[in-house]
């Protein structure tokens, strides 16, 4: 685990905004795994999914820390490129 200044932006009470990837649900795409933004609750698909919407969300918003939404307990910082 890395020291990451971006964890200060984590909202400890953040709730998922959808059950699945927000963008994939709108377009009918499938996903491999889901990531939850720890700042706003956006659910996006992982980089192994065709849409790569979790990374897209980071690129659009700068919300750096994501957590596995479908079973994992880890968090990832896009800026530091490390688990936090």
Cβ–Cβ < 8 Å for 1, 26: no
Q: What is the pLDDT of residue 79?
A: 96
Alpha carbon distances (Å) from 72 to 29, 52, 55, 68: 22, 18, 18, 5
Provide the domain limits for residue 70: 5-83
Say what the pTM is. Answer: 0.93
pLDDT digits (tens, 9 = 90+) for 26-66: 999 999 999 999 999 999 999 999 999 999 999 999 999 99
pLDDT digits (tens, 9 = 90+) for 67-78: 999 878 899 999
The 3-state secondary structure of 25-82 reads HHHCCCCCCEEEECCCCCEEECCCCCCCHHHHHHHHHCCCEEEECCCCCCEEECCCCE
Q: How many domains does the chain have?
A: 1
What CATH number did the domain enclosing 14 receive?
A: 3.30.40.10
């Amino acid at each position: 685990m890395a020291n990451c200044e971006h964890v200060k932006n984590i909202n400890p009470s953040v709730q998922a905004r959808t059950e699945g990837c927000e963008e994939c649900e709108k377009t009918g795409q499938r996903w491999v795994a889901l990531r939850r933004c720890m700042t706003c609750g956006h659910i996006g698909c992982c980089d192994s999914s065709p849409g790569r919407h979790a990374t897209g969300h980071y690129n659009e918003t700068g919300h750096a820390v994501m957590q596995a939404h479908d079973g994992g307990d880890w968090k990832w910082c896009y800026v530091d490129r490390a688990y936090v």
